Amino acid sequence: MKKILFLLVALTGLAFGADGEQIKAFSVVAAGIGLGVAALGGAIGMGHTAAATILGTARNPGLGGKLLTTMFIALAMIEAQVIYALVIALIALYANPFLV
């Protein structure tokens, strides 16, 4: 863990002293990592949501319709978080606020 923290601090110092081309490169790396983490979190959340819905329907088949509706609402909210990460990544790539 200490090695990862040290690497992040070293890269942060390098990023603050970077010129325009290096900032663009760091923005591409940050956008890729951010989207990957957001997609991973969204996929895990969607998997848990689907598993809980299937389990609830198996325990009480009469509530299947209500559980399905609730699941779709939850999936839409989970996916919205991933879309927000995509928007932030696109802003960092194309309308880069870090370039002066």
Q: Is residue 83 part of a domain?
A: yes
The model carries a pTM of 0.73
Q: Residue 92 — very low, low, confident or very high, per pLDDT cuts 50/70/90?
A: confident
Q: Is residue 15 part of a domain?
A: no
CATH number at 90 reads 1.20.20.10
Q: What is the mean pLDDT of residues 78-97?
A: 89
Domains: count for the chain: 1
If DSSP codes are grouped into helix, strand and coil, which group holds residue 68? helix
Comparing 23 with 90, the larger pLDDT belongs to: 90
At 27-67, the pLDDT tens digits run 888 888 989 999 999 999 999 999 999 999 999 999 999 99
Give 17's DSSP letter: T
The average confidence (pLDDT) of the chain is 87
- Supply angle C-alpha 48, 69, 44, rounded to 5: 15
What span, in angstroms and rounded, lies between the C-alpha atoms of 54 and 4?
39
CB atoms closer than 10 angstroms to residue 27: 20
